[in-house]
């Protein structure tokens, strides 16, 4: 095979690798009909020996159907963030990137390294499926099954997609609120070494080095990053006991990642992806005063250690002139979390692992008509040791799914899927989704609707934890829909749109209290309704200046049986309803990108959150937490092809805020650095 593939073939290979699952040859046909060389999801050329500036690839969305599809044909609400956007805004970790995404509330206990949760469209923090290169990052050893996103840094990311709405028809458990899918960059072309140094506020000193390239039909990318902040003020002075001094958090993260992509033949390719992360966070835990029934920050710090392995080995085979593309592989995660503390009750150790085996085939049986079929099996287990209890548990799930993706007259596009899960513990579950979009090319108008179901399986901790566990728990379930429009004007210089969403969630798992036995346990007792509107306006003011504004309104109401007794989880509304915590009603984000001259790129981001209900860190009472406004700016200047200088200021106006209550977010922070490429 030639070392320099044809443009169409190069485009096909890039799209196959950009997708976490399979490849649609309908998009290959689109590329073949156009003399264009595709670019990868992160903007890197598919083959570095070609002049990529001569070619362009229509914007594609992968997560909505698991098949690369032009964004104009997708009915789902998806936010796509490219690697170039991440680099220009200098968002170093995943929580920072997600902060401005519509429909999300990102909650982090302090700055870098602080425990992070994401609430999507008003659903719970464990109702979002998190994927990295198609690998499910859910943590079997955590009580709610969610992965702490603070461990993920973005230095090797090519693309992120945030898919909103129920998605279990393709993705199985956890996808009640939606899916966050992240993809790392692949290597191609001549060997390239790059790296950067960055220093600034909070005692920050970051170092990143990477080596990538390709030879004949093999692409490789190797990365190492060290991210450290030694002085992160987190504890508000007003909650400290008299005479006690606040201790700053200190975060340290080493991330090693690599991927290998190889075309073994014209019809068979393999890819290997691996990531290993070591984290350390010195932080202030809470102690309890039994005399006053309140908590208070501990005078001495705990240290949390984490070791995370994420890997995948995958093969892909094409047949019938690329009309049939089959993907098979194994994905694995292995997590270890330990907490060291001067307080014996805080010492703990958690281990969780998951192995997933999968097979998928996408068959384009007619032009514009493709059928996706998939099978998967996962096994997961966890162990834990703490002063309070220990446990050892495991479970598994076998699933199959189908999806029909259709295009009619280049105007009507429909994706419909159904999935059947058979869980080793709670039995069978079926979910589905349909998502039609109607496009009017003459006016630049798109009308879109989606309707689907989703579920969240009980975690191992919820099922089997000593005292608390309940092996009779059923899955949490949801039914949701959204409807909206998108409009483009003046050759796409102006675009705007709005989407209404509604999601009903039942069988929610809550912690209940039995006053007769003085014990707690998990029960399927409550439900919730989340609804709202997402709207956007994007302006291409000039060829060098672009502005986008997003607005989200969210209303979430929880429901529970009369007389139910459980811990603080919401603000009472009526005798049988309440307002769940950490769901702001209003969110506004504004992003500006300006290139006044070729070497210089300037970005600015504004994020506003209205107030929300939260729980007081020390008294445990439900309180109204004030909203806040953040303004971040960044600049990148290319001195020459080998040298770039950059700097940014986060929280430019030094807003003081807590999200969640009791943990200070960083004030105004300035950073600068140097990037070298060879």
115-155 residue pLDDT tens: 999 999 999 999 999 999 999 999 999 999 999 999 999 99
pLDDT given for residue 568 in this prediction: 59
Cβ contact 66:22 at 8 Å: yes
Give the separation between CA 302 and CA 346, rounded to whole angstroms. 8
Position 2 pLDDT exceeds 50: no
How many Cβ atoms are within 10 Å of 409's Cβ, its own excluded?
Answer: 7
Nearest-10 crossing angle of helices 25-33, 7-18: 150
pLDDT given for residue 32 in this prediction: 28
pLDDT given for residue 575 in this prediction: 87
Tokens of 118: 């994401």
Cβ contact 204:228 at 8 Å: yes
Tokens of 76: 């789902």
Residue 677, burial from CB neighbour count under 10 angstroms (0-12, 13-18, 19+): middle
Size (the chain), residues: 678
In which element (H, E) is residue 83 found?
helix 83-89
pLDDT given for residue 22 in this prediction: 29
Pick from 7-16, 323-332, 378-387: least confident:
7-16
Pick from 25-34, 64-73, 131-140: least confident:
25-34
Residue with tokens 């989407």: 499
pLDDT given for residue 17 in this prediction: 31
407-418 residue pLDDT tens: 999 999 999 999
pLDDT given for residue 565 in this prediction: 67
Give the separation between CA 38 and CA 260, rounded to whole angstroms. 20
pLDDT given for residue 25 in this prediction: 29
Pick from 27-31, 67-71, 295-299, 451-455: least confident:
27-31
* pLDDT class of 297 with cuts at 50, 70, 90: very high
Position 276 pLDDT exceeds 90: yes
Position 20 pLDDT exceeds 50: no
Q: Is the pTM of this model over 0.75?
A: yes
Position 99 pLDDT exceeds 50: yes
172-220 residue pLDDT tens: 999 999 999 999 999 999 999 999 999 999 999 999 999 999 999 999 9
71-92 residue pLDDT tens: 999 999 999 999 999 999 999 9
Pick from 34-48, 560-574, 625-639, 649-663: least confident:
34-48
CA distances from 620 to 93, 253, 288, 294, 581 (A): 30, 31, 11, 7, 12
* DSSP string for 355-386: EEEEEEEEEEEETTEEEEEEEEEEEEEEEEEE
pLDDT given for residue 454 in this prediction: 98
178-184 and 128-132 beta bridge pairing? parallel
Distance of CA 459 to the CA centre of its chain: 20
pLDDT given for residue 389 in this prediction: 85
């Amino acid at each position: 095979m030639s070392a320099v593939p044809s443009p169409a073939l190069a485009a096909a290979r890039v799209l196959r690798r950009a997708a976490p699952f399979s490849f649609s040859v309908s998009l290959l046909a689109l590329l073949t009909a156009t003399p264009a060389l595709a670019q990868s999801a992160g903007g890197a050329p598919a083959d570095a020996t070609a002049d990529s500036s001569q070619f362009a690839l229509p914007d594609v969305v992968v997560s909505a159907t698991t098949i690369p599809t032009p964004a104009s044909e997708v009915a789902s609400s998806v936010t796509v963030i490219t690697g170039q956007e991440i680099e220009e805004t200098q968002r170093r970790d995943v929580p920072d990137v997600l902060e401005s995404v519509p429909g999300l509330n990102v909650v982090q206990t302090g700055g870098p390294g602080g425990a992070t949760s994401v609430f999507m469209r008003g659903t719970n923090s464990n109702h979002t499926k998190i994927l990295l290169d198609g690998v499910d990052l859910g943590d079997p050893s955590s009580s709610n099954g969610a992965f702490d996103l603070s461990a993920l840094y973005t230095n090797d990311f090519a693309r992120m997609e945030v898919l909103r709405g129920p998605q279990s028809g393709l993705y199985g458990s956890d996808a009640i609120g939606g899916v966050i899918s992240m993809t790392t960059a692949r290597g191609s072309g001549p060997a390239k070494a790059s790296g950067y140094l960055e220093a600034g506020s909070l005692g920050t000193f970051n170092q990143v080095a990477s080596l990538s390239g390709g030879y004949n039909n093999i692409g490789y990318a190797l990365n190492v990053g060290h991210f450290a902040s030694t002085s992160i003020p987190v504890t508000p002075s007003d909650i400290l006991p008299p005479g006690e001094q606040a201790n700053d958090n200190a975060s340290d993260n080493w991330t090693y990642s690599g991927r290998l992509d190889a075309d073994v033949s014209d019809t068979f390719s393999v890819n290997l992806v691996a990531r290993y992360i070591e984290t350390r966070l010195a932080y202030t835990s809470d102690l309890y005063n039994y005399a006053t029934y309140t908590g208070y920050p501990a005078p001495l710090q705990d240290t949390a250690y984490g070791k995370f392995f994420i890997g995948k080995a995958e093969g892909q085979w094409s047949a019938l002139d690329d009309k049939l593309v089959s993907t098979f592989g194994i994905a694995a995660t292995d997590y270890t979390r330990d907490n060291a503390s001067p307080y014996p009750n805080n010492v703990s150790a958690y281990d969780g692992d998951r192995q997933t085996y999968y097979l998928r085939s996408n068959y384009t049986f007619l032009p514009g008509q493709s059928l996706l079929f998939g099978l998967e099996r996962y096994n997961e287990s966890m162990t834990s040791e703490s002063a309070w209890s220990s446990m050892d548990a495991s479970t598994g799930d076998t699933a199959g799914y189908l999806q029909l993706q259709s295009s009619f007259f280049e105007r009507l596009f429909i994706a419909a899927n159904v999935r059947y899960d058979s869980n080793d513990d709670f039995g069978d579950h079926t979910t589905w989704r349909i998502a039609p979009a109607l496009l009017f090319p003459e006016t630049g108008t798109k009308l879109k609707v989606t309707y689907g179901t989703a579920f969240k399986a009980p975690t191992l901790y919820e099922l089997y934890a000593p005292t608390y566990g309940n092996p009779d728990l059923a899955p949490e379930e949801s039914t949701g829909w959204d409807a909206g429009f998108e409009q483009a004007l003046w050759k796409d210089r102006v675009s705007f749109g709005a989407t209404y969403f509604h999601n009903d969630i039942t069988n929610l798992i809550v912690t209940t209290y039995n006053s007769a036995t003085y014990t707690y346990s998990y029960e399927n007792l409550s439900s919730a309704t989340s609804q709202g509107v997402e709207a956007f306006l994007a302006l291409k003011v000039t060829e060098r200046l672009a502005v986008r504004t997003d607005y989200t309104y969210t209303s979430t109401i929880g429901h529970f049986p009369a007389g139910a007794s459980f811990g603080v989880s919401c603000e009472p509304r009526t005798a049988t309803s309440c307002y769940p915590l950490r769901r702001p009603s209003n969110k506004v984000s504004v992003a500006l990108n300006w290139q006044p001259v070729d070497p210089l790129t300037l970005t600015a981001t504004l994020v506003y959150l209205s107030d929300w209900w939260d729980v007081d860190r020390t008294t445990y009472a439900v309180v109204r937490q004030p909203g806040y406004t953040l303004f971040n700016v960044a600049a990148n200047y290319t001195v020459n092809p080998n040298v770039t200088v950059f700097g940014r200021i986060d929280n430019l106006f030094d807003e003081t805020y807590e999200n969640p209550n009791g943990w200070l977010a960083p004030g105004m922070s300035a950073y600068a650095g140097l990037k070298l490429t060879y």
